[in-house]
Amino acid sequence: MNVLRLEVSATEADFVVAELYEAGVLGITESGGADGLVLLEAYVANRRDAESLAGRFPEANASIEPADERDWVAHARAQWQPVAVGDRFFLAPDWHSDVAVPEGRIFIPMPAGQGFGSGAHESTQLGLSALEHTAVEGASVLDVGTGSGILLNACHLLGAETLVGCDTDPVAIEAAGEYLRNQAAPHSLYLGSIEAVRPRRFHLVLANLNATLILNLLEDLFAALQPHGRLILSGILREEQDVIHRALGATPGVTRIYHSAQGDWVNFRVTTSVH
């Protein structure tokens, strides 16, 4: 057993985790690294595979060491603890099947697999919290960059009528499909960005991406909304919130802009008039 250590930025961490799981690592732990970076420790069966993985991340200050005799799979799983999110949700990984869900909360299994958005990351938790303050029951929902599918599952549990997701990563589409099927959440998933679902329009559009992608897709995100639609944006760092707020404020039809923050991340909820 070997441990591959990588230092990545906070914005890259979930994407790197998804790629590592896709490559078949046995477990991953995450902690604070030097200079504000995130330290990922991935447990790999043999050194050759660890070296191959290290080569995928040349900027990550990769190092490889033999692991000790600890049960690394159990150790990695121990890092994924149940967590209350917002006022209504309670998340736990599927190996915590016997966890006691607090009264009044909605249980969401954490998809600890290959798609971005396990629920452990603050940007995903902000997206989940935003859904609590959004009219979801009976709505049609589009999740752009659906990743693991956890936001669509939350919408399903809140009573959404139609669930549609798109993602440019075929691995994410496969992982989200498996997760949503396991949750008995009827859905349609499309490989590609938002153009993959045109010309359909939705009551609610979700985008847990990053500030650059959101700015590039903003016109298309609004075009995918039905009249009086709602938009939820996550994956935005605090230092990027002003540029996103200005772009939203300059968009015709926007009636209200709300934002919330958690850690280094912010989330925007937007309501629109006839668009």
Q: Which CATH superfamily is domain 115-272 in?
A: Vaccinia Virus protein VP39 (3.40.50.150)
Q: Is 244 left (phi over 0), alpha (psi -120 to 50) or beta?
A: alpha
* CB distance 71 to 50 below 8 Å: no
Class for the domain spanning 2-78: alpha beta
What is the pLDDT, as a whole number, of residue 87?
92
* Assigned token pair, 60: 């990550």
| pLDDT for 12 | 81
Per-residue pLDDT tens for 235-252? 898 999 999 999 999 999
The structure tokens listed for 7 are 């230092």
Domains in the chain: boundaries: 2-78, 115-272
**215-236 pLDDT, tens per residue?**
999 999 999 999 999 999 998 9
Mean pLDDT of 9-35: 77
pLDDT > 70? residue 61: yes
Give the confidence band of 77 by pLDDT, cuts at 50, 70, 90.
low
Q: Residue by residue, what is the 3-state secondary structure of the chain?
A: CEEEEEEECHHHHHHHHHHHHHCCCCEEEEEECHHHCEEEEEEECCHHHHHHHHCCCCCCCCEEEECCCCCHHHHHHHCCCCEEECCCEEEEECCCCCCCCCCCCEEEEECCCCCCCCCCCHHHHHHHHHHCCCCCCCCEEEEECCCCCHHHHHHHHCCCCEEEEEECCHHHHHHHHHHHHHCCCCCEEEECCHHHHCCCCEEEEEEECCHHHHHHHHHHHHHCEEEEEEEEEEEEEHHHHHHHHHHHHCCCCEEEEEEEEECCEEEEEEEECCC
Instruction: Tell me what percent of the residues of the chain surpass a pLDDT of 70.
Output: 88
Residues 118-141 pLDDT 10s = 666 788 899 999 999 999 999 999
* Percent of the chain scoring above 90 in pLDDT: 56
pLDDT on residue 119:
64
* Between 146 and 78, residue with greater pLDDT: 146
Q: What is the pTM of this model?
A: 0.76
Q: How far apart are CA 82 and CA 51, in angstroms?
A: 33
Q: pLDDT at residue 187 above 90?
A: yes
Supply the mean pLDDT for the chain: 87
Q: Mean pLDDT, to the nearest integer, of 171-199?
A: 93
Check pLDDT > 50 for residue 115: no
Q: How confident is the model at residue 9 (pLDDT cuts 50, 70, 90)?
A: confident
* Predicted confidence (pLDDT) at residue 169 exceeds the cutoff of 50: yes
* Structure-block tokens of residue 8: 């990545």
Q: Report the alpha-carbon distance of residue 124 to residue 99 in Å, rounded.
A: 21
What pLDDT was estimated at residue 136?
A: 96
